[in-house]
Structure 1
Amino acid sequence: MKTASPRWWHHRVYSRLGIGRHDCADHDRHLDEAAAWLARAQDVGADAGVPAFYNGARGRWAASYPETTGYIIPTLYDYAMRTHSEEFRERATRMAHWESDVQLANGAVCAGTIDAKRLVPTVFNTGQVLFGWAAAYDQTGEVRFADSLSKAADWLLSVQDADGAWRQFGSPFTTHPLNTYNTRTALGLLEAAKAIDEPRYAAAARANVAWALTQMRPNGWLENNDLEDNRRPLTHTIGYALQAMLEVGIRLGETQFIDAARHALARVAACQRRDGSLPGRLDSRWQAAAPWACLTGDVQIAYAWLQLARFDGDASWRESAHRAIGFVQSTQDLATMDPIRRGAIAGSYPWHGGYMGCRYPNWAAKFFMDAVMALREAD
């Protein structure tokens, strides 16, 4: 039997004892370390994409992940603008070129990592890369990015059902083909509509979010909203669905979308623990359905709360966001000399929890950066 690595046992023991948290530095230090970790991750592979995660139990990086590399791109452009860093601007542009290199012939983006034996076109993954191409086109004006953007968005419209839902081309790595969190794909289409001035994409985005409202129960809970278990969705997919619903509503001036998202986000806020974290899964009564925290979901929802604070002018949303971000910062190790862990954000807390256990996903660092930058803008 293969013996677990010393690093794995270190995290296992510390997480079980509940002492795997650290003193927090200032927000900018945490932000800089997360950005540096993403840069090191990009440099690991032979291509310009970002590995999906580092597996701490196996001591191994995954292959590059088109979906999440796609939405890391605008985060790095935002960070580059904030820090006046040409390095991060160049990194983001290289990622966007790589995304165009690996785009499928029909315009879609594949499921999973780039080393998959069969590259399957997938709706959600395609929607996430729209963010990257839209940002790259805005930043560089390169026609290649506009072409990739229009091909991908046209494919999404071609496979969208009349009621606004996507029922085809779900990810083969999820249990259910119908996903309410595709509101995040709708938001990607809205980015495409803005970038290349195509109203059809905005109309398709609105139709999908209108459909998502048909999946919402009176208490704000969404049906069909998890990767595996729709009875108790992750805060990660709750965050996808609600943040996108809110932002589409704000950008299109659709009060019904904003009100629905606000209602649900208030129910999530009521679940926040004393330490600032959220239960990693929530059931249909908004009760904790997991003891661990999904760190990605914590910062995604914090970002949505900050958007509401700005839109509503209600400081209580900012306070909830500040506490959630502070919790995630306390799990980010800035003192270790191990470059694989320094600045990374784990999948779960404790480290071996039920979402991406013993792994550091690239999207956790991305959404953490988004939340910290939004919080600093609100200061």
Structure 2
Amino acid sequence: MITDKLEKHLQLSIDWLIKSKQPSGGSSAYHAPLLGWIKPYPETTGYIIPTLIDYHHYAEDQLAIRTAVDFGEWLLSIQSGEGYWFAGQHPPKKQEPSVFNTGQILFGLISLYKETKDSKWLTSLDKATEWLCSSIDRNGYWKEGHYRGFNPTYYSRVAWPILLASTVLDNDTYRNKAILVLDTLIKKRNPNGTFSGWGFDEHGSAFTHTIAYTLRGFMESSILINDWESYGAKTERALQKFYTLSELNNGRLDGEYNEQYSGKKTYSCITGNFQIALCLMRWYEKNNDLRLMNSASKLIEYSVKCQTSTDSILSHKGAIPGSKPFWGRYMTLRYPNWSAKFCADALLLFLKLYKKESDRWDIEES
């Protein structure tokens, strides 16, 4: 059955994420054949937490929830007095605050508070959100804490958790700051639906990883404020393009695209494939267009084939590479923890929708 196969991949991804936990705390940023597990990464540890909690509810997996709490405890222990987390892996080479890392950790704190109702997660969340919002200027830009020295459009994925935090904390100031950021970033949309600055560089090509960050941030923010037209609708042209590209290539997207949708065909960004699939499924939940689910299923099917099924000297069972082929330009020769995270997220959402609507989809199981 299709669900049995997908659940096996899901279990492998979760097991690998649990295995990525380091003795010092946190999830290793990636596993590499020659280096093994490397230092933990606060940013991705933060947004892996809700994945583990979601899986706990899906499969009643107690180790998943214990690992999520352990990851959260570690994040509390390394939070700065001002409320932010440092850039990069921990311990960092340079102690520089990070807007994006801090924003992604909000996801974990919110999930842990909702799960446990322990006020320590709320205290940390408020401190982190206060730092993020106090750093936004009147034009909707952050003044510090950048990865590459500018405000990329994928900061829409920072506005999204701030909106979530504003709801949990009942703080309209935070909500208004997030909307200010979104209003600034949405202006970077090009007539063809792409966004300037949606990659790690202000101009040029962007990995599908950061493209999906950008689109998902706008989509989820629109859903939270119940205003699809302002932001969510502005992603539809790009989503339609990636839907079409996925269909034409049987679930494979190029690893990166420029602002004219010209792709880098030498590799595929596996992480980005899962993330684009998530965007298509979230859009499907909005408009019930079955073609979107078909495209998402092809992206997932293409990408899960990259998952390792056995332990070897190269990787641990369940690892998912950054690129296909393994030497592709995104996370070259590495198995990042966020590949496994977004694989699990995509599978959890697909399985949820499948079990809810399989009769209407009329999918033949095999």
- Using the TM superposition, give the Cα deviation of residue 337 of structure 1 relative to its aligned residue in structure 2, in angstroms: 5.6
Give the counterpart letter for 1:252 in structure 2: I
Q: In 1, distance between residues paired with 2:202 and 2:132? A: 25
- Using the TM superposition, give the Cα deviation of residue 253 of structure 1 relative to its aligned residue in structure 2, in angstroms: 1.6
Aligned length: 351
- Using the TM superposition, give the Cα deviation of residue 339 of structure 1 relative to its aligned residue in structure 2, in angstroms: 9.1
Q: In 2, distance between residues paired with 1:28 and 1:339? A: 24
Aligned to 1:29: 8
Matching of residue 133 in structure 1 with residue 109 in structure 2 = yes
Using a 3 Å threshold, how does the CA distance of structure 1 residues 265 and 86 change in structure 2: closer, same or farther? same
304, 310, 315: which one pairs with 2:290?
315
Q: Classify the secondary structure of the residue corresponding to 2:260.
A: coil
Q: Is the 8 A contact 1:100 1:148 kept in 2?
A: yes
Matching of residue 197 in structure 1 with residue 170 in structure 2 = yes
Matching of residue 300 in structure 1 with residue 275 in structure 2 = yes
Give the counterpart letter for 1:325 in structure 2: I
Q: Classify the secondary structure of the residue corresponding to 2:257.
A: coil
- Using the TM superposition, give the Cα deviation of residue 78 of structure 1 relative to its aligned residue in structure 2, in angstroms: 0.3
Deviations 1:268-315 (A, max 9, x none): 223225231110110111121342111111111100100000111111
Q: Is the 8 A contact 2:42 2:105 kept in 1?
A: yes
310, 334, 338: which one pairs with 1:359?
334
Matching of residue 372 in structure 1 with residue 351 in structure 2 = no
Q: Is the 8 A contact 1:52 1:113 kept in 2?
A: yes
Using a 3 Å threshold, how does the CA distance of structure 1 residues 274 and 25 change in structure 2: closer, same or farther? farther
231, 238, 245: which one pairs with 2:211?
238
Give the counterpart letter for 1:303 in structure 2: L
Aligned to 1:15: none
- Using the TM superposition, give the Cα deviation of residue 25 of structure 1 relative to its aligned residue in structure 2, in angstroms: 6.7
Q: Is the 8 A contact 1:153 1:192 kept in 2?
A: yes
Q: In 2, distance between residues paired with 1:350 and 1:238? A: 20
Q: Classify the secondary structure of the residue corresponding to 2:68.
A: helix
54, 57, 80: which one pairs with 1:78?
54
Deviations 1:92-133 (A, max 9, x none): 011111111100111001100002232211101110000000
- For residues 132-151 of structure 1, what are the structure 2 equivalents within 5 Å? 132-151=108-127
Using a 3 Å threshold, how does the CA distance of structure 1 residues 167 and 237 change in structure 2: closer, same or farther? farther
Q: In 1, distance between residues paired with 2:265 and 2:167? A: 39
Q: In 2, distance between residues paired with 1:245 and 1:36? A: 31
Structure 2, unmatched stretches of 5+, are 355-366
Aligned to 2:232: 258
Deviations 1:140-183 (A, max 9, x none): 11111111100100001111121223242102xx3x42211000
Q: Is the 8 A contact 1:271 1:287 kept in 2?
A: no
Structure 1 length normalisation: TM-score?
Answer: 0.89
Q: Is the 8 A contact 1:302 1:371 kept in 2?
A: yes
Root mean square deviation, CA, Å: 1.8
Matching of residue 46 in structure 1 with residue 23 in structure 2 = yes
- Using the TM superposition, give the Cα deviation of residue 55 of structure 1 relative to its aligned residue in structure 2, in angstroms: 1.5
157, 161, 182: which one pairs with 2:155?
182
Deviations 1:32-52 (A, max 9, x none): 00000011111xx22220010
Deviations 1:179-205 (A, max 9, x none): 110000011112212222222222222
Q: In 1, distance between residues paired with 2:340 and 2:15? A: 10
Q: In 1, distance between residues paired with 2:4 and 2:326? A: 21
66, 69, 87: which one pairs with 2:42?
66
- Using the TM superposition, give the Cα deviation of residue 336 of structure 1 relative to its aligned residue in structure 2, in angstroms: 4.5
Q: In 1, distance between residues paired with 2:260 and 2:46? A: 34
Q: In 2, distance between residues paired with 1:316 and 1:71? A: 29
Matching of residue 270 in structure 1 with residue 244 in structure 2 = yes
Q: In 2, distance between residues paired with 1:369 and 1:33? A: 9
Structure 1, unmatched stretches of 5+, are 1-23
Q: In 1, distance between residues paired with 2:143 and 2:199? A: 15
Q: In 2, distance between residues paired with 1:181 and 1:341? A: 31
Moved more, 335-344 or 107-116: 335-344
Q: In 2, distance between residues paired with 1:231 and 1:271? A: 20
Deviations 1:49-76 (A, max 9, x none): 00100112x2322101000000000010
Q: Classify the secondary structure of the residue corresponding to 2:199.
A: coil
Using a 3 Å threshold, how does the CA distance of structure 1 residues 302 and 167 change in structure 2: closer, same or farther? farther
- For residues 330-349 of structure 1, what are the structure 2 equivalents within 5 Å? 330-336=305-311, 340-349=315-324
Q: Is the 8 A contact 1:249 1:257 kept in 2?
A: yes
**Identity, % of aligned positions:** 30
Q: Classify the secondary structure of the residue corresponding to 1:89.
A: helix
Give the counterpart letter for 1:265 in structure 2: L
